[in-house]
Amino acid sequence: MTNFIKKLIQTLTAIRLETKRYKHSTIHVIINWLTAFRKDLFSAREIRMYGLADPEKGADRIRHYVSKEMADRFYRRHNPETAISNIENKFFFTTLCLQHQLPTPTTYGIFKQGTVKNLDGKISKGIDEFQNFILMLQPGEYLLKPNNGMLGLGLFSLNVEEKGNPKLQGKSITIDNLYRELLSIEAALPASSKGDSVDMDFEGLLFQRRIANHQEITKLTGFAMLQTVRICTYVNENNAVEILFSFMKLAGQEGLADAFNLGKTGNMLAKVDLVTGKFRQVHAMDQQHGYFVEMTHHATTQTDLSSFTVPHWQACLTLARKLALTFLPLRAVGWDIAITNEGPMALEGNDNWVPVVSFDISIDKLKQYQLKP
């Protein structure tokens, strides 16, 4: 009884917040809220974030948005647990992309327990061989990323100058001290449940060449941070690839990762039209009130967002479809794709994606795929 009363109070509080937000058509606000919550399994937080209780637009949004609960059921049903490591393990993901001639950032190896394993299988052990590995790198910018990381956490920048003089996070460091620092960083990473052998490749730090945005993307936001497009695909029982939705993550401040993270850094989400590649809607998170607000211009550059078209859009779609078939038996994946001046590159696949924008397939298909109750 105590839990029931607690949940009832939480529900009534959430509904009251929405009626205060819209201040008119209270009965429609309540109907939309209860429909989204009870029938479509949206959480109170999702209802507020997506504006599903809106008396004017809420009913249509409920039809086209999918709750996290239903999305979770969907991709768990279509993504065998035994195959998830193919995308969760970034070293293996990169290897498979290269084997299938899919463009991906240049990767030099993985640092784990003081050992570097190259993509070709060569092993460099100990501090002396690590020094040779660093001296082999061409001058330029690199990224160190946890091999099984997520949400852009744990990224480090490495700049290699002439004669192998490295800078970690912008600070000069000797190669010997870099080796020790990487051991320390690796030790602080979350432990893997997959084993502790170098051959398992789940833990450790990946050495990748840092890539640059297409110039139009950097011009749009004013930030050099890599800003990617996510294309979510579903491979049906006939092995035909269907694109469910796509959005682009736009930077709100400089950094190393574009993870939206509920817009806490000022990042925005731009829903992409699947046919044209143009932005249809761009949202930022109102941190004070906990819901999306539509943006017409970028906060930093004041560029008109509605006129932007994702560069190399058709090539992005082609790459997403190829990735979807390459990584079968996974059937429901969100592909993060970087867009450079030369074209798109596959960064990673996500088996656990949150549907933060509306879907682009019909209501009938949403029900057919059991994305709607």
Q: Is the peptide bond before 329 cis (omega within 30 degrees of 0)?
A: yes
For the chain, list the domains and their CATH numbers.
Answer: 2-65 (no CATH), 77-83+213-368 (3.30.470.20), 106-209 (no CATH)
Residue length of the chain: 373
Q: Which range has the top average pLDDT, 23-27, 129-133, 312-316? A: 312-316
Q: What percent of the chain has pLDDT over 90?
A: 64
The CA-based diameter of the chain, rounded to the nearest angstrom, is 72
Q: Return mean pLDDT, the chain.
A: 88
Helix (H) or strand (E) holding 117: strand 115-117
**DSSP class of residue 194?**
S
Q: What is the pLDDT of residue 154?
A: 74
Is there a contact between 254 and 223 (Cβ–Cβ < 8 Å)?
yes
The Cβ-side half-sphere exposure at 194, using a 13 Å CA radius, reads 19
Contacts of 42 (CB under 8 A, 6+ apart): 36, 50, 52, 62, 65, 67, 69
Q: What is the pLDDT of residue 162?
A: 76
Rounded to an integer, the average pLDDT of 72-101 is 94
Q: What is the pLDDT of residue 256?
A: 57
- 349 or 146: which carries more pLDDT confidence? 349
Q: Which residues pair with 250 in a beta bridge?
A: 268
Q: What is the rounded distance in angstroms from the CA atom of residue 97 to the CA atom of residue 181?
A: 30
Q: What is the pLDDT of residue 23?
A: 80
Q: What is the pLDDT of residue 257?
A: 58
Rounded to an integer, the average pLDDT of 145-150 is 78
Tens digit of each residue's pLDDT (9 = 90 or more) over 239-281: 999 999 999 999 887 765 555 455 566 689 999 999 999 999 9
Paired tokens of 138: 């061409």
Phi, then psi, of 181 in degrees rounded to 5:
-65, -40
pLDDT of residue 308 exceeding 50, the answer is yes
Contacts of 259 (CB under 8 A, 6+ apart): 151, 152, 153, 249, 267
Q: What is the pLDDT of residue 201?
A: 42
> pTM score, two decimals?
0.89
Rounded to an integer, the average pLDDT of 9-14 is 81
Give me the residue label for tokens 């990735």. 323
pLDDT of residue 364 exceeding 60, the answer is yes
Q: What is the pLDDT of residue 259?
A: 56
Q: Which residues pair with 208 in a beta bridge?
A: 107, 143
Q: What percent of the chain has pLDDT over 70?
A: 90
Q: Which residues pair with 124 in a beta bridge?
A: 116
Rounded to an integer, the average pLDDT of 118-144 is 89
Q: Can you say whether residue 315 is alpha, beta or left, with left for phi > 0 and alpha for psi between -120 and 50 degrees?
A: alpha
Tens digit of each residue's pLDDT (9 = 90 or more) over 90-130: 999 999 999 999 999 999 999 988 999 988 888 888 899 99
* Amino acid code (one letter) for 278: K
